[in-house]
Each structure stands twice: as structure tokens, then as C-alpha cells.
Structure 1
Amino acid sequence: MSTEELMSEAVSLPVDIRLKLVERLLQSLNPSQKEIDEMWATEAERRVREIESGEVKTVPGDKVFSKISDRLKE
């Protein structure tokens, strides 16, 4: 089925079915909060592993904010 055929079929559906279709399509584009939380948890675990393995070094917060402040003054 081509895109045009699909669109033609979709617009001919009853309004309540089109609404369900739209909601489902939007859900497929936007991850749920649960999915977002899972992605952040995975990212946090990866970062912890990198720190613990010595792959990356941490920078104290006061140094980070000092550098930011210096850059903003430029």
C-alpha cells in the first residue's frame, strides 16, 4: 500500500477511529516517561562504569562553575 493509499484510507475512517490512530501514531513518535526514565538510567549506569574504570575523570563542581563564569565574562 502506498502512502497516498494509506492516507486516503485513513481520512475515510470514522472520527473516533481516526482519533485513536492519531493517538497511536503520536505515541510512536514520543517515548513515554517510563521509556525516558529507562534511557536515563542506562546512561547513568554507563557514566558510573566509565568513572569507576578510570575512562573518564570527574571535575569538581566549583571548578566547572568557575570556568562557566569566566567564559560568560569574556
Structure 2
Amino acid sequence: MLSVEQLIQEALSLPNATRVFLVERLMESLESDIDENTQNLWNIEAKKRRDEIHNHTVESIPGEIALSQVRRILEK
């Protein structure tokens, strides 16, 4: 049996389309473990945030800027 590190190296050597397929299958396997109530709450929150952006209630910022802000906060 391959170690986790060996498995990662093997996966990274696959063609992009195959890696995407692998990731999708792994994500599907995790989704079955998610509590349905928790998933529903996350869906509600995601729709609320989407609506806030569409209604201009909040201002979105690029991901790079958000990550740099989070990194600065964590460095304190």
C-alpha cells in the first residue's frame, strides 16, 4: 500500500483532467459524511451572502486582498 505522500505524488503526476476527476470523486465521498442540517444551514448562509452582493448591501473584494488581510490579522 502507498503512503499518503506517495499517493499525493502519484496523483500530482496524473493529467489535469484525471486529477479533476479524482478530486470530484474525493469531494463526493466527503459530501456523504456531511450532516444534512449543517449543509442546509450553509446553503442558507451562502444564498444570504450572494443576495447581499447582488443587492449591494456589502462590497465584495478580490480574493487576493481578502487573503492578505487575513494573513496580516493572523500575524499579530
TM-score interval (norm. to shorter): 0.3 to 0.5
TM-score after normalising by structure 1: 0.48
